[in-house]
Amino acid sequence: MMSELRRAAAGDSPPGAAASGFMNSLFNAAKRFKGDQMIQHGSPPFLECSSRGDRRFSALYAEVNGRSIEVQYQSAKVFADGSTGLPWRKAKGRRAVNAEEVAALYLRLWDQYIDENPHLLEILRQASGLSDQFGQPGRVCQATELWRIRNSR
């Protein structure tokens, strides 16, 4: 980035090219690291519990009863218009009228997953911290549930 700015200042780049590249770099960095939304528990180094980290700890990949935790959680949501059973991509990010009920389901599914895969508990115990780069305050979070499980067993 700095070399682009230096080239622009020296007149080696078209006007605005470095600034545009700089802004694109900032934008892409912000998309990759949403520090205001990332959920972290414990201390570094963090075990990333998402599809971009250890997939065994991602709700998209962790399966219970033959379906992913994410699919079961999202399809259990009931919305204000009465719709339910939506595909996970259509339900994700939408607030459900049964939010407490589906949050409890999410908790139970993670408990069941670790019960069915007890070898994963040792990996959680060895981690000094857990993170979810997609986690958002006020919503269910795989890192939060796994941290709870790690510290309660």
Domain ranges of the chain: 1-32, 35-152
The predicted model gives 64-79 an average pLDDT of 98
Q: How confident is the model at residue 26 (pLDDT cuts 50, 70, 90)?
A: very low
DSSP code string of the chain: -HHHHHHHHHT-S-TTHHHHHHHHHHHHHHHH--TTT-EEEESSSEEE-STTS-GGG-TTT-EETTEEHHHHHHHT-B-TTS-BS--HHHHTTPPPTTHHHHHHHHHHHHHHHHHH-THHHHHHHH-SEEEETT--TTS--HHHHHHHHHHH-
pLDDT at position 36: 58
What does the pLDDT look like over 108-150, one tens digit per residue? 999 999 999 999 999 999 999 999 999 999 999 999 999 999 9
pLDDT at position 37: 76
